[in-house]
Structure 1
Amino acid sequence: MVETNELAVLDRLEISYDLAGYPEVKNYEVVYGTLEAMLEGADKLVITADEASVESAKSIKSQLTKYQKRIDEVFEVEEAKYNELVSKKRSLKRLFERSKNYLNDGIEYAKTEWVKEAINEYSRLASEDIDISMIDPKTYSRKLTKKSVFEVIESEVIRIEEEYKKSQHEQEVFEKYCNSKGISPELLLDWQKTMSLSEAMERVDYLVEIQAKEAKKMEEVQAPQPVVKVSEPEEIDETDETADIWAVMLRMTDKQKSLFKQFLNDTGIELVGKPSIVDDIF
């Protein structure tokens, strides 16, 4: 298990230079092996929702962070010049990252259990069932004690209940408004997910306007159309003395004469001229 006084093990690390000016990290393998053995206990720590267990995990995590900072201090002067120093520093720090990740997972597990316990405690304040998925993890992610987590969850449950009551009230107002306009509320069933109450009412007004226009169109189509009176054509006075007289010369066969005679009879056209010519045609 990691102990605070063991931070001194890093003091055994020493950076020296050979005759060519190349850096060498003395005691690196010894320090690496010592740290690796120390961290085995951290990886095996059992973390539960018990507060003492969580406090122990947080204490060890804090110690590991101190080790990492100390490693940075040892290498900070010369690492920019030599890639090998950077590589060694990273290898040492990775030892701590693995253990810190394990501890973080355990602490987060405990927090989640605290949240569930707090929800059971404060669900009596809510009209609907409260599920952990309804709580934003950001609200309790930085809380370090069970007491602080409980305080956050209580506030969140109260907030959810207030939003629920507001939603129910707005739904009732909306349904009454729809009924007053003759619009079925089901036409905008999920309106609360995408718009405010005022926007939903405006949408209802728009639907009413559209329906009114459609109804007017249907009335116009179904309304009886006015009857247009067609005046009878004026009869032509066949004996109108003012009609124009045309002088024409015709050359026809007997068959054509017969057809022409029929045409004159059908149209009421009168031939004028010498009786002998008219008689000849007919």
Structure 2
Amino acid sequence: MQPNRAPGLAAPAIQITEDEYEKFYEYFYRRTGISFSGKKEYFVEKRLLERIAKTGSDSFKAYFTLLRFQASGEELQHLVNLMTVNETYFFREDYQFDALVRGILPEITRTRRPGGTLRIWSMPCSTGEEPYSIAIQILENWAQADEFAIEITGSDIDSRVLADARKGVYGNRSLQRLSPELRKKYFRRVGDDQFEIHEELRSSIEFSIANLSDPIHMHRYRAMDVIFCRNLLIYFDDTSRRAAVEALYECLNPGGFICLGHSESMSRMSSMFLPRKFGDTIVYQRPIDQD
């Protein structure tokens, strides 16, 4: 029951105290590994207040109780979707895709028999441009593509972007780096500024939700040969970054490779990987186990 209020007076606006913000920050950090800098406090608080209003909670305390103890975890997912920023396009940092087909895959398959499986994981995949770019790069530029069963998985913590990735519909901004030939070959126009990935390519990639800071989620991803984890770890602090790197290490086959973003360096996070140079990029390899 709402308290009595003089006619015409609106309910008082909910305020989030410094202690309450700190409680939320610690909880969100533990669940996602994402660390917000002080400059983002307004951004975080604004979105937190949006969810408080949307759920009809009458205080931060009531909302925080819902967030922590909701069995389905649906509210946490809504909040994650609001807090994460997703901006990408096809063939972003394409020198790593060149390294994939010119160096990484040839090295991995040198000791593999044709017909075997290659597993490539894009995490975070955002709205799907990266895993689709990987598939197109392999189809167009790796002569051995037909000799192996190639499994490409795209994962993200944001359920909304995964839904968009599965649809595979993009505007000109996302396709700006694709040649007219590739657009014609792999897309069909479905609107004035809308292009849909062909069904055959769209259905060849599996999309799934994954939280790099959740051991249960990460246990599903094993025996990967290549992981693209670009421009994610910059949002983590040193502690969560090290934990994430250890989790990614366990996801890779011995001898497998991980590609980071151009501003990220594994040497600052972990000594578990070997730096390798392919063309114009540095990637990182899980050492091959020695008997």
Give the TM bin, normalised by the shorter chain: under 0.3
Q: Which of structures 1 and 2 has the larger relative contact order (alpha carbons within 8 angstroms, sep 6+)? A: 2
TM-score, normalised by the number of residues in structure 2: 0.26
TM-score, normalised by the number of residues in structure 1: 0.26
Higher share of residues assigned helix = 1
